[in-house]
């Protein structure tokens, strides 16, 4: 896919001044009152600390083939060399060569490798946060299997320690750690929402049951922007006769601690869910339609907890697929053509690629795949916290054009996915481009098409 292909169909006027306002200068965000030298030293110290043998091997094994460039939506959409994935690891490379590489002694002794400057940190902030969704597409394409997405995640740790996170992303991460939610969905707000939705939609929404087989979680975007997802969750689980609950001490699966690079906040946020599930004796914790929540708990949860989790963790799409297939969820056929947008963190990074497709087929819809799909799906451009960073909007919209073309090319009647962050990015892109396609939630499609009779096996946990 080339830059020309996408621009012709959905032209952008990124630089056009609106209402006579001048475009603001690019901004470089800092937190705390560290001086420049201390900030640089902290960032480099943490980059170096996160080097393991694997990261060092990655650094040495790049053959500079450039294949990763064509795999990255930000590079493809803009054609700008600085968005080449391997270039985003420049902070690591600089720190590695000077501090740990085979010639580090000479680099330092003879001052052959110059110290990092504040100007470089500014440049890196944009590369590490604004122009990487940690989607892992470059990782799939790289012939040397260099996991650029994970290394960008590690580089964010160093940036977070040095107080170099874009303000909006830092703000939602800090609020999430402090209040329990990045968007103000505090326990009180969440409980009130559940009560209101239960009345409004006449559906039972259990919150804070002392014991339950299944504990269900939501993302902040669903709670605040798509509350119909809460209703859909309740309808499906009640239809199955499941023994389930939300918990006000652990309902928010979004983990902006992870996206910002603050490892302590990531841990705090994950432990809330883990401790709540243990407190109610849940055998299964269901993660919501949220991509990075899946990676944070399903694949990193045991590391955070320090031992295997005493319950199963499943994404809602896996739960739906399994129970649609075994007949515990019964639906009326949905005779439509449908295309599926793979959320990067669930499909490519998480490995749960087949489940949503099984659910779509069980719904009776005809699945029309995008040309590059599953592990090679193009990112929507809003993951990794990018959708929160306003100054990244222009390149995010450019990258979104790739996605629009993919969807258009399928000709499908329905567009669905299983990530509320993708959904928000699609909604925003739809409004920006006056596009006529609306993203729907797979969970809500299932809930809206439930067969009327309830399950005959009320307490089954799957
Ligand atoms: S594809 Fe891999 S080996 Fe090639 S330039 Fe990119 S990171 Fe290096
Ligand atoms: S992880 Fe995704 S966004 Fe980041 S450099 Fe690779 S392809 Fe680009």
Closest CA to 419 of 48, 133, 150, 179: 133
> 223: Cβ below 6 Å to ligand 2?
no
> 72: Cβ below 6 Å to ligand 2?
yes
State pLDDT tens for residues 315-341.
Answer: 999 999 999 999 999 999 999 999 999
Average pLDDT over residues 216-225: 94
Residue 13 CB-density burial (10 A; 0-12 exposed, 13-18 middle, 19+ buried): exposed
pLDDT bracket for residue 26 (50, 70, 90): low
Separation of CA 142 and ligand 2 centre (Å): 11
Which residue, judged by its Cα, is nearest atom 2 of ligand 1?
A: 142
Concatenated DSSP letters for 223-248? HHT-THHHHHHHHHHHHHT--EEB-T
Separation of CA 137 and ligand 2 centre (Å): 6
Using DSSP's 3-state secondary structure scheme, residue 439 falls into strand
Which residue, judged by its Cα, is nearest atom 8 of ligand 1?
A: 62
Residue 456 has pLDDT above 50, yes or no: no
State pLDDT tens for residues 238-295.
Answer: 999 999 999 999 999 988 888 888 888 889 999 999 999 999 999 999 999 998 889 8
Q: What is the pLDDT of residue 87?
A: 86
Residue 201 has pLDDT above 90, yes or no: yes
Residue 219 has pLDDT above 90, yes or no: yes
Q: What is the pLDDT of residue 53?
A: 65
Q: What is the pLDDT of residue 334?
A: 92
Average pLDDT over residues 226-243: 97
Radius of gyration of the chain (CA): 23
> Residues lining ligand 1, judged by CB closer than 6 Å?
62-68, 86, 142-144, 146
Using DSSP's 3-state secondary structure scheme, residue 406 falls into helix
Using DSSP's 3-state secondary structure scheme, residue 387 falls into helix
Phi-psi region of 306 (alpha: psi -120 to 50; beta: other; left: phi over 0): left
Residue 41 has pLDDT above 70, yes or no: yes
């Amino acid at each position: 896919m080339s830059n020309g292909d996408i621009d012709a169909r959905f032209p952008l006027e990124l630089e056009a001044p609106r209402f006579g306002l001048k475009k603001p200068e690019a901004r470089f965000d800092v937190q705390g009152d560290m001086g420049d030298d201390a900030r640089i030293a902290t960032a480099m110290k943490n980059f170096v600390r996160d080097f393991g043998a694997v990261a060092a091997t990655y650094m040495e094994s790049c053959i500079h083939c450039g294949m990763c460039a064509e795999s990255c939506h930000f590079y493809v959409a803009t054609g700008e060399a600085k968005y080449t994935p391997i270039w985003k690891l420049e902070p690591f490379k600089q720190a590695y060569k000077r501090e740990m590489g085979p010639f580090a002694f000479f680099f330092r002794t003879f001052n052959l490798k110059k110290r990092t400057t504040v100007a470089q940190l500014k440049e890196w902030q944009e590369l590490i946060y604004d122009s990487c969704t940690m989607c892992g597409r470059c990782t799939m394409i790289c012939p040397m299997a260099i996991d650029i997405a994970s290394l960008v995640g590690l580089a964010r740790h160093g940036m977070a320690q040095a107080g170099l996170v874009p303000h909006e992303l830092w703000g939602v991460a800090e609020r999430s750690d402090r209040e329990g939610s990045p968007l103000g969905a505090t326990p009180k707000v969440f409980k009130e929402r559940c009560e209101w939705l239960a009345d409004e939609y006449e559906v039972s929404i259990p919150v804070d049951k002392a014991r339950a087989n299944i504990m269900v979680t939501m993302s902040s975007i669903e709670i605040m922007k798509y509350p119909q997802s809460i209703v859909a969750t309740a309808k499906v689980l009640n239809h199955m006769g499941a023994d389930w609950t939300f918990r006000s001490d652990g309902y928010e699966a979004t983990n902006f601690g992870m996206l910002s690079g603050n490892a302590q906040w990531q841990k705090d946020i994950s432990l809330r869910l883990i401790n709540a599930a243990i407190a109610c004796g849940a055998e299964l914790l269901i993660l919501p339609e949220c991509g990075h929540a899946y990676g944070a708990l399903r694949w990193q949860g045991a590391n955070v907890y320090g031992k295997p989790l005493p319950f199963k963790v499943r994404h809602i799409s896996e739960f739906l697929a399994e129970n649609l297939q075994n007949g515990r969820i019964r639906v009326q056929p949905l005779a439509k053509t449908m295309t599926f947008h793979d959320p990067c963190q669930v499909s490519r990074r998480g490995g749960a690629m087949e489940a949503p497709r099984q659910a779509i087929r069980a719904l009776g819809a005809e699945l029309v795949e995008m040309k590059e799909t599953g592990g090679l799906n193009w990112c929507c451009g809003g993951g990794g916290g990018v959708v929160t960073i306003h100054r990244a909007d222009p390149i995010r919209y450019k990258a979104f054009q790739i996605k629009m073309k993919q969807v258009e090319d399928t000709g499908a009647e329905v567009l669905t996915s299983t990530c509320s962050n993708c959904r928000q990015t699609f909604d925003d892109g739809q409004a920006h481009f006056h596009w006529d396609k609306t993203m729907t939630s797979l969970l809500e499609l299932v809930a809206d098409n439930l067969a009327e009779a309830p399950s005959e096996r009320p307490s089954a946990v799957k």
